[in-house]
Amino acid sequence: MTPEQNFNRRGIEQEIIAWLVRDFATSPESHKALSELKEVDFSDDVFRRAFLQIRKFATEGVCFNARMIQEATNGHVPMAEISPESLNLGSGLSDLHLPPLVEMLKKIVQREKLESAVKSFSEQLKADKDVPEIVASLQTRLNDISTGAKPFARSAKKAWLEQIAMLEAMRAGTYVEPPRLSLGVPAIDEALNGGIANGQLAILAARPACGKTSFAAHAVANALRSGKKVLFASLEMTDGEIIRKLTENLVGFFVPQNLTLWNMFESSWNELKLKGFSPDDVFDPDAFGDFASRLRFVDNAPHAEFFQKVRLEFMRERFDVFVLDYAQIVQGLPGECFRETVSKVSVGLKTLARELEIPVLALAQLNRDSSKESRKPRMTDIKESGSLEQDADVVFLLSDDSDPNAQDVKHASKLTRLVEIAKNRHGGTGCFKLSFDALTSRFTERNDSDA
C-alpha cells in the first residue's frame, strides 16, 4: 500500500488548503503548489472553491485569512474546514509538510485518470472500434496523465483571462517572470529576453568540429548550476564524453582523453591543489553536489519510439529542459527517406516543447555550402532546413571565426566563434562574437583584448 493510500483523500485536500491559509500562500512551497495543482484535482467542492479563491488572492497579491475566503465564496467554504486549526492532529497528516501532501494528491489524481483510461480502452475494444483510433485515443490519454499536457482543444476565454491576470499582476508588482533556459552568455540571453522560454524550440546549427556540442554542454552546465533538471539525448557522443565536457565546464579545467594528454591535465591538477580544491574528488559524483542526480540520458531509436522514450522519462520525473544532439541523427523508419525523417523529428520536437511546456534545444548539422563558398552560414544551409527552420522559434548559427593558422589545442583559449540569432519569433536577431575555450568547453563574450 502506498503512503497516499493510508490517508483519506479528503483529509489530504483539507491539509493542503490549511497549509496554504497558514502561510498566506506566500512561501515558495505554496507558490509551487498553486502552479502544480488545478481546481479539478480537488474532489471536495469546499476545497475546490477554497483553492480557486486562494489562487485568486495570491495572483492579486492580497493578504488573506480563512474568514476572507469564507466571505468571498458567500459562505460556501466554512472557516472550520480550512483554518490552520483544522489540521488533522493525530492522523499523521499533520506531521507532513506541503510538498509531500501535494505529491500524494497528484498521485491519487494520476491513478484515477489511469483507471479511467483503462476502463475506456476496454470499452472501446469491446465495441470493436478501429485499432489505430483506439491507440491514438489511448496515447492522448496517457500523455495527459504523464505530463499534464493541455487538451488539443483549448479555451480561448481561459487564455484571455490568464493574460488579464498576468497584466494585473504586473500592475500590482507581483508578477514573476516564467523560468527560461539561460545559455550562459549574457549578451545572447539578453537578446532572448532571458533565454529560451518554456514551449519554445531552439535550433543550434553548425558545421562538424565547430563546437556545437560544447555549446550545448555550456548551456546544460549553466542549467544545472541554476538547479534545473535536464534530460539530454546525445545520439553521437557517449555518456562519458558528455560528462567529460560538463566536468570541464563545471570545474574549469581540462580532462584528458588519453595518456598523451596527461601532461596538460597534470598541470591543471596541480592548479586545483593550489586553489584548495581536492583533485582526488574530481571524478566523485558527490563533488558536484546534486548535479549528477539532475541529469539523465536518452538513447537513440526510430523517431516514434524515441519520443515515446522521452515522454516516459517525463512520466517518471519532471525535467525542466530537453536537449538533443543532434536532430538529423534520430533514426528513421524502414523505407523512410531522410527528408521525411527530419521533418517528423522537427514536428516531434516542437510538439514536445509545447505539450510539456519546457524549452527544447536541438542541435543540427549544416551542409558544406557555406564552407565551400567561404561565407557565414545561413538558415538554408541547415541540412533539410525546411522543417527545422519552419518549426523552430529560435535558430542559432554557430561558425568558426578564429585564426585558421592557429593550433586548436595550443591556442584553445583564443578561438573565436560567431553565434548569430538568425531567427527569433519573439525578439530581435543579431550576431555575437564569443571566445571558445575548447579545453574547458566554455563560451564567453569576446572583448577586443581577447586576441
**Mean pLDDT in consecutive groups of 10 residues from the start of the chain, 451 residues:** 61 89 84 86 91 88 88 89 64 69 88 84 79 68 60 63 81 80 87 88 86 88 86 82 79 61 58 55 54 79 77 81 85 79 85 88 80 73 75 87 52 73 85 84 73 48
Whether 261 and 405 map to the same domain: the answer is yes
Whether the full predicted model's pTM is greater than 0.85, yes or no, is no
249, part of any domain: yes
Query: Which among 84, 108, 132 is the end of a domain?
Result: 108
| DSSP letter for each residue of 269-323 | HHHHHHTT--GGGTT-GGGGTTTGGGEEE----BHHHHHHHHHHHHHHS--SEEE
212 shares its domain with 357 = yes
In a domain, 450, yes or no: no
Do residues 329 and 369 share a domain? yes
Q: Is residue 423 part of a domain?
A: yes
| Cell numbers 574549469: residue | 252
Residues 201, 257, single domain; the answer is yes
Question: Do 133 and 191 reside in the same domain of the chain?
Answer: no
Q: What is the pLDDT of residue 305?
A: 77
Asked if residue 451 is part of any domain, the answer here is no
Q: What is the pLDDT of residue 145?
A: 64
Q: Is residue 386 part of a domain?
A: yes
Say if residue 43 is in the same domain as residue 135.
no
Angle, helix 9-22 to helix 45-60, in steps of 10 degrees = 20
Rounded to whole angstroms, the Cα distance separating 204 from 189 reads 14
Does 220 lie in the same domain as 124? no
- Of the candidates 154, 172, 190, which is a domain's last residue? 172
**What total of structural domains would you count in the chain?**
3
66 and 119 share one domain: no
DSSP string of 363-414, one letter each residue: EEEB-SHHHHTTS---GGGBTTHHHHHHH-SEEEEEEE-S-TTS-TTTTGGG
Task: Let me know if residue 58 belongs to a domain.
Answer: yes
Domain CATH number, residue 58: 1.10.860
Is residue 440 included in any domain, yes or no? yes
Same domain? For 139 and 282 the reply is no
Query: Would you state the pLDDT for residue 211?
Result: 84
Whichever domain contains 235, its CATH number is 3.40.50.300
CA distances 299 to 177, 315, 338, 353, Å, are 33, 17, 19, 19
Reported as a single tens digit per residue, the pLDDT across 54-103 is: 988 888 888 888 899 999 999 899 888 887 765 554 455 556 788 888 88
pLDDT digits (tens, 9 = 90+) for 115-144: 888 888 888 888 777 776 677 667 666 666
| Shared-domain flag, residues 212 and 300 | yes
- Shared domain check, 144 and 195: no
**Residue 384, domain member (yes or no):** yes
243 and 187 in a single domain? The answer is yes
Q: Where does a domain end: 131, 150, 172?
A: 172
Distance CA 46, CA 350 (A): 39
Segments forming the whole domain that contains residue 19: 3-108
